[in-house]
Amino acid sequence: MVWERILLGLLIAGSASLFVHGLIQKIRLIRAGAPERQRTDQAGARLRRTLREILTQSRVIGGRPVVGVLHAVVFFGFLLFALESAEHFLKGFGLSFLGPLLGGALPAFRTVMAGVAVLVIVAISGLAFRRFALVRTSPDPRSWTSGLVALFIVLLMVTYLNGIRAVPATPQATWWLHAMILLAFPLLILRSKHFHIVTAPFTLFLRQERLGDYVPLDLEALAEAPEGQETTLGLETVGSLPWKMRLDFLTCVECRRCTDNCPAALSGNTDLSPRTFVLAGRKALTDCAPGDPVIGSVISEAALAFCVTCGACQEACPVGVEHLDVIVGAKRAQALATGRGVVAGSFFRSIETHGNALSRPRQERAALLDDLALPRFTGADDQWLLWLGCVWGFNRSQRSAVQAFSRVLDAAGVHYGVLQDEPCCGHHSRRQGEEAQFQDLARRSIDALRQSGARRIVTPCPHCLHTLRRDYLPLDGDFASLDLEIVHHSELLARLIRDGELELDRSGEDLPAAYHDPCYLARFEKTSDAPREALAAAGFTLRELPHRRERTLCCGGGAAGFAREQRVDRARRAEITASGAPLLITGCPECRMMLDATVDQTWDIAEAVAHAVRPRGGNGGTMYLSHPSTVDIEERILKMFALHPEDELQLLEIAGKSHISGRLDDLKHAADALVENGALHLTHRDGARYYGLGGFGG
Ligand code: SF4
Ligand code: SF4
């Protein structure tokens, strides 16, 4: 009827104009943001990645496979039904494009679409069940818009199925119901988290290609800015929120994946929830004045204090929200502009005074180099620069790891050396917002590297690795001319094993161990195969932790966590304990420091490999320690005495010379057993116990 067509035309025009009006308002909110970095470079690669992520739904399915697959069914149903929706409105005007387009194939197409409709009903019902019935896992059981959307989708599918029947029930009424829902949908999208249907392709396209890609503050320009000119030292006010961050806030689908992967939230902390600050940011765009502070309006001081900048939130987000820019931007405002709420202030002072994060006198590092007889870097072409980092350089409890790595390098015939003086790379200063200190330290490190003539660098510390590899180039364009190869020690170990440079003595051992993926190695540097390859070759049977590889869980050491009171390591410790492994292996000196004593023993990966490596040209005898509960310590003690037949040693000396670590009781038990069966002699002198092969006595 003509009046129906007129009414339909008016309704379509009304819905479209309301949608456009609402969309313009949202765009205004985004455009009011501060200028941003270049985000359209390498457009082809960005487009390919975006299409891949959307069409495979990889970011949605990853981490939540069941929910992700259900969402994917609804998503693809949505795409396919775009054709039928256009056809529906054309039919209202007596037109059709599917008929002429598909011809005789139209019935088959409709049969397929009927199947899709049933799948969509099942999928949306499943999602609604999870949201409204499984309230403990639901991200938001009170979301009325989600309920309405679920109802709309079910009604759309049911009315569609009715419409394609040979004899539809109440065809006119159901046709109009279908049309009215379609017309209401755009308005619902504008007013709910379903706005991501419009914006998510853009946030995904525009997002940083690399996690943790911070834009350096132009401190010189800021210092030279004329008086009265407005300058910003981070996210100080709501007005300083950049446009992409605003787009992110409006795109958030409220799924809570970020919070569900946050080590602080998982450890029971209620001050920090990435979803909460993203949604607070969305609210601030409309409710706050441009001059209102970000800290307080968007994110709290307590939340900032607990964040370890581990990136788990950002990595888990299905729509590419960049949480780290919010956190580091707000921390910069804290450290540089307001000076309020800074945590780990002692850390900054320690760096100023001692040049290291552990508040240790500089001469302690020199003493370590001498004690361990570490070769100095000379700049020879074939020499690797071993960049120790603060923890290996200053933490006495990690000497065994330094020693183990140097022994492995010796065993592989690797020419290496350390710098006499090694600056702090600045990693934690930057993540704590102290950009000025970071840039100062970075320049010192760049100068040291330039002067050293290094070409190849190996470091045990993923924080140093990431900073040297990624953070220096944007600061100093000439850094690229050094043409440095920078690798993590696990990568070098795996390479040496692969190339046959290290002889492994597995001795049939399958030592059960848990491996903790360090955030800056696995998530930021995407390196999780090399450590596993090295550990497998060394005979370890890994008990994989629930959060592993790129989805690893922070040990709590990020952003100078080891220097702060706020601890977020409970969740990770619980996972490690639950694995039942008596041995924990880490690929990061800071993780080793943070997680030490979670289980019987904690080793660096270098120690783990060292225990299975034979000295070059050696004829047996592992170089390093074994796990006391599973390997024959007695055999190791005898091997050690075979190399030192004249020695008479106390237990601690045996431990040092044979590189057996662990409980002294285990060692004593094994040594006494050897005495009992006559393999060793025991003597008491000056109240102390001495063991040896014999030929001495008191
Ligand atoms: S960076 Fe890590 S600690 Fe900080 S909010 Fe994200 S997940 Fe939580
Ligand atoms: S920020 Fe991302 S992960 Fe977090 S709730 Fe929003 S969409 Fe989900």
List, for residues 109-128, the tens digit of each pLDDT value.
999 999 999 999 999 999 99
How many Cα atoms are found within 13 Å in the side-chain-facing hemisphere of 146? Answer: 20
Do residues 556 and 652 share a domain? no
Q: What is the dihedral of CA 322, 328, 330, 331, to 10 degrees?
A: 160
Whether residue 583 lies inside any domain: the answer is yes
Q: Which of 166, 184, 206 is the last residue of a domain?
A: 206
Whether residue 578 lies inside any domain: the answer is yes
Instruction: Return d(Cα 252, Cα 193) in angstroms, integer.
Output: 7
Are 653 and 536 a contacting pair, CB within 8 Å? no
**504 secondary structure, DSSP code:** B
Distance of alpha carbon 455 from the chain centroid: 28
Under the banding of pLDDT at 50, 70 and 90, the label for residue 659 is low
Do residues 650 and 546 share a domain? no
Do residues 676 and 573 share a domain? no
Whether residue 656 lies inside any domain: the answer is yes
Distance of alpha carbon 50 from the chain centroid: 20
How many Cα atoms are found within 13 Å in the side-chain-facing hemisphere of 545? Answer: 30
Whether residue 117 lies inside any domain: the answer is yes
Instruction: Return d(Cα 612, Cα 450) in angstroms, integer.
Output: 36
Residue 514, classed as helix, strand or coil, is strand
**524 secondary structure, DSSP code:** S
Q: Which of 561, 592, 610 is the last residue of a domain?
A: 610
Whether residue 588 lies inside any domain: the answer is yes
Ligand nearest the Cα atom of residue 256: 2
What CATH number does the domain containing 673 carry? 1.10.10
CA of 195 to the centre of ligand 2 (A): 13
Do residues 591 and 653 share a domain? no
For the chain, what is the domain count? 3
Under the banding of pLDDT at 50, 70 and 90, the label for residue 221 is confident
Position 482, amino acid = L
Q: Per-residue pLDDT for 310 more than 60?
A: yes
Position 275, amino acid = R
Do residues 577 and 650 share a domain? no
Do residues 501 and 548 share a domain? yes
Q: Per-residue pLDDT for 668 more than 90?
A: no
Q: Which residues of 98-128 are buried (b: 16+ CB within 10 A; e: fewer)?
A: beeeeeeeeeeebeebeebbebbbebbebbb
Residue 2, classed as helix, strand or coil, is helix
Residue ID of nearest Cα to ligand 1 atom 1: 309
Establish whether residue 254 lines the binding site of ligand 2, counting it when its CB lies within 6 angstroms of any ligand atom. yes
Q: Per-residue pLDDT for 624 more than 50?
A: no
Among residues 169, 307, 194, the alpha carbon closest in space to that of 251 is found at: 194
**Phi and psi dihedrals of 303, rounded to 5?**
-60, -45
Q: What is the dihedral of CA 340, 343, 345, 348, to 10 degrees?
A: -110
Q: Per-residue pLDDT for 244 more than 90?
A: yes
| pLDDT value, residue 494 | 97
Establish whether residue 256 lines the binding site of ligand 2, counting it when its CB lies within 6 angstroms of any ligand atom. yes
For the segment 100-112, the average pLDDT, to the nearest whole number, is 94
Q: What is the dihedral of CA 380, 381, 383, 387, to 10 degrees?
A: 90
Atom of ligand 1 nearest to the CA of 312: 7
Q: Which domain holds residue 659?
A: 640-692
Whether residue 161 lies inside any domain: the answer is yes
CA of 257 to the centre of ligand 1 (A): 11
**Phi and psi dihedrals of 458, rounded to 5?**
-125, 135
Range name among 324-328, 619-623, 636-640, 664-668 with the lowest pLDDT average: 619-623
Whether residue 236 lies inside any domain: the answer is no
Q: Where are the alpha helices (DSSP H) in 337-434?
A: 345-354, 363-371, 389-394, 399-411, 427-431
Tokens linked to 479: 């850094």
Q: Per-residue pLDDT for 697 more than 70?
A: no
Q: Per-residue pLDDT for 696 more than 70?
A: no
| pLDDT value, residue 508 | 42
Instruction: Return d(Cα 585, Cα 511) in angstroms, integer.
Output: 11
Atom of ligand 1 nearest to the CA of 273: 5
| Three-class SS of 525-551 | CCCCHHHHHHHHHCCEEECCCCCCHHH
Do residues 76 and 156 share a domain? yes
Kindly report, residue by residue over 28-45, the tens digit of the pLDDT. 999 999 999 999 999 999
> Which comes out higher in pLDDT, residue 358 or 250?
250
Sole residue written with tokens 């800074």: 342
> Which comes out higher in pLDDT, residue 560 or 553?
553
Do residues 584 and 647 share a domain? no
| pLDDT value, residue 662 | 57
Strand order from edge to edge, sheet including 485-488: 416-417, 384-386, 456-459, 485-488
Whether residue 601 lies inside any domain: the answer is yes
CA of 516 to the centre of ligand 1 (A): 18
Establish whether residue 312 lines the binding site of ligand 2, counting it when its CB lies within 6 angstroms of any ligand atom. no
Instruction: Return d(Cα 207, Cα 220) in angstroms, integer.
Output: 27
Q: Per-residue pLDDT for 622 more than 90?
A: no
Do residues 168 and 92 share a domain? yes
Tokens linked to 305: 């204090």
With pLDDT > 90 as the criterion, what percentage of the chain qualifies? 70
Mean pLDDT, the chain, rounded, equals 90
**494 secondary structure, DSSP code:** H
Establish whether residue 275 lines the binding site of ligand 2, counting it when its CB lies within 6 angstroms of any ligand atom. yes
Are 328 and 433 a contacting pair, CB within 8 Å? yes
Ligand nearest the Cα atom of residue 279: 2
Ligand nearest the Cα atom of residue 313: 1
Q: Per-residue pLDDT for 413 more than 70?
A: yes
| pLDDT value, residue 661 | 58
Do residues 647 and 598 share a domain? no
Do residues 195 and 73 share a domain? yes
Instruction: Return d(Cα 393, Cα 346) in angstroms, integer.
Output: 19
Neighbours of 637 (CB within 10 A): 25
Residue ID of nearest Cα to ligand 2 atom 8: 255
CA of 15 to the centre of ligand 2 (A): 29
| pTM for this entry | 0.86
Q: What is the dihedral of CA 500, 506, 512, 514, to 10 degrees?
A: -20
Are 313 and 261 a contacting pair, CB within 8 Å? yes
CA of 256 to the centre of ligand 2 (A): 5
| pLDDT value, residue 665 | 66
CA of 329 to the centre of ligand 1 (A): 14
Instruction: Return d(Cα 556, Cα 76) in angstroms, integer.
Output: 39
Instruction: Return d(Cα 55, Cα 45) in angstroms, integer.
Output: 15
Instruction: Return d(Cα 290, Cα 272) in angstroms, integer.
Output: 24
CA of 129 to the centre of ligand 1 (A): 29
CA of 276 to the centre of ligand 2 (A): 9
Q: Which of 160, 176, 206 is the last residue of a domain?
A: 206
Q: Which residues does a 6 A CB cutoff place in the pocket of ligand 1? A: 261-264, 272, 274, 307-313, 323, 327
Mutate to test the pocket of ligand 1, among 554, 564, 566, 594 (most ligand atoms within 8 A of CB): 554
> Which comes out higher in pLDDT, residue 619 or 77?
77
Do residues 9 and 140 share a domain? yes
| pLDDT value, residue 184 | 97
